[in-house]
Amino acid sequence: MINLDEVVALLQRTPESLSALLSGLPNVWISATEGEGTWSPYDVIGHLIHGERTDWIPRARHILAGETRPFEPFDRSAQFTDSQGKSLGELLETFSSLRRENVATLLDMKLTAADLSRRGLHPELGEVTLGQLLATWVVHDLDHVGQIARTMAKASGDAVGPWSAYLSILHDRK
């Protein structure tokens, strides 16, 4: 079973970590991708914003309300329209603000162990628990932090020459 304090500890750090990593970098770093159909760090931040608005807390509320209908499907590419015309700095600020609000909302829910076992219906995966949703929120953050680091590393992958053999981040996936 998940520990809510541990969940919150990580969720609170993600915006600061990403801001420290990405703020003020030249465009070559924030627009880098791993190839066609992959996301840049800029795209990932937009995706995280969309999740803050439409996924984690709305789905937690859905479960706590005892809804029997499936969650609303999540649009995994909404960032491509939602982020248009915005600077990375704006996106990082928005993500930080939304995350602060969502963590406060999560804490205000005063969840119990029984609440974490409550069930909802994912439109693709079927039955899930609130605890699984919250654990997924944490792992989703870590997945995208890793994706950003990997994408940025690959932007300089050719420049490292033979050291590439020692840098697993350059070989994880395309």
| Structural domain spans, the chain | 4-170
Do 160 and 170 contact (CB within 8 A), yes or no? Answer: yes
- Asked if pLDDT for residue 14 goes beyond 60, the answer is yes
CATH class of the domain at 4-170:
mainly alpha
- Asked if pLDDT for residue 172 goes beyond 90, the answer is no
Q: Map residue 120 onto helix, strand or coil.
A: strand
- Asked if pLDDT for residue 173 goes beyond 60, the answer is no
The alpha-helical segments, DSSP class H, found in the chain are 4-22, 27-30, 41-54, 56-64, 79-82, 88-108, 113-116, 130-155
Percent of the chain with pLDDT over 70: 98
Q: Which is it for the CA torsion 158, 161, 162, 163, positive or negative?
A: negative
Q: What is the pLDDT of residue 124?
A: 95
Q: What is the pLDDT of residues 38-52, one digit of tens each?
A: 999 999 999 999 999
How much is the CA Rg of the chain, to the nearest whole Å? Answer: 18
**DSSP secondary-structure letter at 72?**
P
**158: which 2 tokens?**
């050719």
- Asked if pLDDT for residue 174 goes beyond 90, the answer is no
Rounded CA-CA distance 53/57 in Å is 8
Q: What is the pLDDT of residue 144?
A: 97
Q: What is the pLDDT of residue 9?
A: 97
Q: Rounding to the nearest 10 degrees, give the CA dihedral for residues 47, 49, 52, 54.
A: -70
Statement: the pTM of the whole predicted model exceeds 0.85: yes
Sequence-distant (≥ 6) Cβ neighbours of residue 83 within 8 angstroms: 42, 43, 45, 46, 49, 91
Q: What is the pLDDT of residues 117-170, one digit of tens each?
A: 999 999 999 999 999 999 999 999 999 999 999 999 999 999 999 999 999 999
